[in-house]
Amino acid sequence: MKTFRLSKLFPSLLLGSVLLTAAEGAASDRVDLAEFLDEDSTFLFLVRDMPELESGFSESAFGELMENEDLRQFLSSIVDRDVDAEMDESADGGKPEGLFGDVAKEQWEQYGHLFDGALAFGLTAPSFDGKNFEEWSPDKGGHFFILGEFAGTEEDFSEFLDPWSDERPENLLPGQEPYLYDEDFMGYTLHVEEVLNEEGALVRRNGWALVDGILVLAEPMESLRDVVARIADPSEGGGIGQSDRFLDVKDRAGDGDVLLYLDLEELARIMGKGMEIGMNRSLAEGGNPLGIEPAKVVEAIGLGALDSLHLSVNFGAEESVVRGGLSYSEKKGVLNLLSYGEGPIPYSSLPPEDAVSSSVGRVRWNEVWSGIKEMLGEISPNLTIMLEMTRKNFERTTGVDFERSLIGALGEETVTYATLRETSDPEGDDLMLLDSVIAIQLRDPNGFNLAIEGVKGMFGLDAFFEETNFGGATIFTSAQAMPGDPESYVSYALTGDYFLFATGKGGLLQDAVSRMNGRDSGFWNRPDVQEVVAELPPEAVGASYSDLGLLLGNMIDVAIAVRSQDPEAEEIPEGVRNLSKGDLFPHFVITGQVPDEDGFFFESLILPMERLEQ
């Protein structure tokens, strides 16, 4: 039987299953493959049902997007070059088949329908001894898993594996030799591969098996045997599917077509150890006048409080629904930035009707500031002393109480938005630039105004701004445009009970003040927007909106610009260069934020722009 290098097959299965093939046929009785994966799995990607995924994805906005040949060509050039082409050179100088290549596509077209049910990808992070990561080897370190319901035979899968088989010289390094054999385990046949280098040392050992209609691929062999044992005898237990943490994630994620899960507790432990090593090295080289202890830094920023991260997607022709969240044991360190207030979402009239993005919600700025102070104090008492000295100096110079007049004056209601500003560069090319505004409700407008004037006086910024009055508001605009953008200015205003800050074209805040005076205008008050908002979770305390077509276009432009700087990159075709223009992805996303004591969660609706036709 054919065997394989799992690191090569993993991305082909993951991308190919969604983008290259249709798993035909009716949905099968669903098997929860998480029941068979290691309880300490660090990363999971679960497909609920391949036929349903293919059907939902192909009918969704994303399926339509992936039918764009120019986009597929662009993605192929990125993935095949940056992933596959960076894999080891083969013995004969060739390179492995690309993820979007003809061979991969042909294999999926011929055998993809045999993956007729659930599919799962798993990874267990390597252990960390505080000094060095253990080698990623057959006997220690991280483990790979791929599980899937499979309607074919062992011969079918062996033939599917053929392009990635280590029996092919192009899939091996010079001097490497594969050894294939079968092993009997609990009445099932394990197809095993060992690869040795030219010194005869073991490079890797992995294998696969077909167990009661479930295909299992794993590295190292210990993992394969563990998974096979759980399938053969479910009473063995030990799978992540029954862990309290994962069950809570599934409950929050709902019945999505795909589910991504990350065990942040283990990842945070590894990251923390890495941070300690890096900081110890830096402090040893540069001195440590603040008396910072790296272990306390890791604890103070809240890494130890992280539990898990999840994201689920349910694809549909009319709408796609994304649910996700960050779970934690306590709100600590940087997690204090997620301090949201209670009450109904403040659907402000400030964002204009043509906003390309906007967010509205309630932020407890005093809790954010208290959390930052607490974090700095835990990192080092010296940082608290420095912060206190800075505060006293500010208050002595300005005569303003920093915490009461500046931080304490901030209310909870917070609104942001961005609008598109079309302009042209000197060569006549159209450019898409964004103007942005943030508004924060004020508890004490007079105290906040005194604090702002104190800051300006302390740093000599009075001459930097020009003052104008408009609609009962005082607007301060920078006398000079921002560097690199002659049409963009910094401005702020105090109007009624709000502080507004903007970067963009002149007159941006004048428009904002006009809408605020109107009270019943703006993006969030549009009837079509209110209709969509009604579909968000009723317990949401914040909402956001983004034009996905514009966002995708900007991302493509950036990617093209980066690729254009690579002298070894192939010339980018004109069709690819024009991807960001026109209606490549005429859809938007609207999201409701739902924080609770266990974490921060959200639900997003991805809908066609025609839903917002007025």
Sequence-ordered strand ranges (E) for 347-398: 357-362
Residue 201 has pLDDT above 70, yes or no: yes
Q: Tell me the per-residue pLDDT of 264-307, one tens digit each, with 9 for 90 and over.
A: 988 888 778 777 777 777 777 777 777 777 778 888 888 889 99
Residue 403 has pLDDT above 50, yes or no: yes
Q: Tell me the per-residue pLDDT of 310-330, one tens digit each, with 9 for 90 and over.
A: 999 999 989 999 999 999 998
Residue 217 has pLDDT above 90, yes or no: yes
What is the structure's pLDDT at 27? 45
pLDDT (average), residues 501-515: 89
- Strands 188-196 and 306-314 come out as unpaired
**Choice between 139 and 470, residue whose per-residue pLDDT is larger:** 470
Residues paired with 441 in a beta bridge: 498
**Choice between 349 and 137, residue whose per-residue pLDDT is larger:** 349
Cis check for the bond before 220: say yes or no (omega within 30 of 0): yes
**Choice between 81 and 580, residue whose per-residue pLDDT is larger:** 580
Residue 22 has pLDDT above 50, yes or no: no
In this structure, are residues 507 and 491 in contact, taking their beta carbons and an 8 Å threshold? no
Q: Tell me the per-residue pLDDT of 26-79, one tens digit each, with 9 for 90 and over.
A: 444 668 899 999 888 899 999 999 999 988 999 998 988 888 888 877 777 666
Residue 489 CA, distance from chain mean position? 31
Q: How confident is the model at residue 114 (pLDDT cuts 50, 70, 90)?
A: very high
Q: How confident is the model at residue 5 (pLDDT cuts 50, 70, 90)?
A: low
What is the structure's pLDDT at 325? 95
What is the structure's pLDDT at 419? 93
The mean of the pLDDT values for the chain is 82
Residues paired with 308 in a beta bridge: 263, 327
What is the structure's pLDDT at 228? 95
Task: Tell me the backbone φ, ψ of residue 239, rounded to 5 degrees.
Answer: -85, 155
**Choice between 173 and 369, residue whose per-residue pLDDT is larger:** 369
Residue 99 has pLDDT above 60, yes or no: no
Dihedral sign, CA of 40, 42, 48, 49?
negative
Question: Whole-angstrom Cα distance, residue 208 to residue 144?
Answer: 12
Question: Whole-angstrom Cα distance, residue 474 to residue 495?
Answer: 7
What is the structure's pLDDT at 439? 95
Cis check for the bond before 381: say yes or no (omega within 30 of 0): no
